[in-house]
Amino acid sequence: MPCQLILALDLPNRAVAAPVLRQVSGRVAWVKIGLQMFTAHGPDYVREVADQGFKVFLDLKLHDIPHTVARAVESLSVLPIGMLTLHASGGREMVAAAKKAAPSSLTLLGVTVLTSFDAAGLAETGVPGSPEEQVRRLARLAVEAGAGGLVCSPLEAAMLRALVPARIQLVIPGIRPAGTEHNDDQKRVLTPAGAAKAGADFIVVGRPILQSPDPAATAAAVLADLASA
């Protein structure tokens, strides 16, 4: 299946998001709802977005003791979501407990190393080595524990595509279309086509579309870039 676009709906509230969703409807199939929107509006907003015809990727990056994460997955599974994130650094037992609690229709994505981290940032948290080494370590753990996909930066996508089974979905944030400035907290980035060529199954794009004067046109350009790969 060709690489798909997920719009990261990282906005302050549903009023700001509503016109963006109207504009990209029919072009973008998937929407990511993260902590900001989920804490602002809760589960009802997930249902609202799904009712508009979008597939929902719920990006909450769960990380707690195994029992707590498993119960959270059970609670979230009643929502119309197709993908849900949890931190692979929570450990093998936590990921396995989440997998046991999840329905077969829900893909659990193991978050490896956040794209805001570089080697210096990892070292400050006590993790030696490069981001790539830590991504490899956590990816193996997550897949062996039952995760159906992984979240990593585009710079590690090719390495993971060669490391994990083909059935494992690679979801790649840190995407910046060619010519787009990325003077923000994303440090390890790539273009949409570059990520697709590296083996991404999904790319996650937020600010370049959300901050565009014409979100629909920018989304179409991202999709065209993906198609060129």
CB neighbours (10 Å) of residue 221? 18
Supply φ then ψ for residue 50, to 5 degrees. -65, -35
From 61, 99, 187, 197, active-site residue: 61
- The tokens for 53 are 């015809």
**N- to C-terminal Cα separation, the chain:** 13
- The tokens for 91 are 């450990």
135 CB-near residues (< 8 Å, 6+ apart): 112, 113, 152, 153, 156, 159, 160
For this structure, is 61 an active site residue?
yes
The Cβ-side half-sphere exposure at 72, using a 13 Å CA radius, reads 18
Residue identified by tokens 């070292």 is: 123
Decide if 92 contacts 145 (C-beta within 8 A): yes
Supply φ then ψ for residue 31, to 5 degrees. -130, 135
Decide if 33 contacts 59 (C-beta within 8 A): yes
Residue identified by tokens 């119960």 is: 71
Helix (H) or strand (E) holding 33: strand 30-34
Decide if 30 contacts 202 (C-beta within 8 A): yes
Active site residue ranges: 61
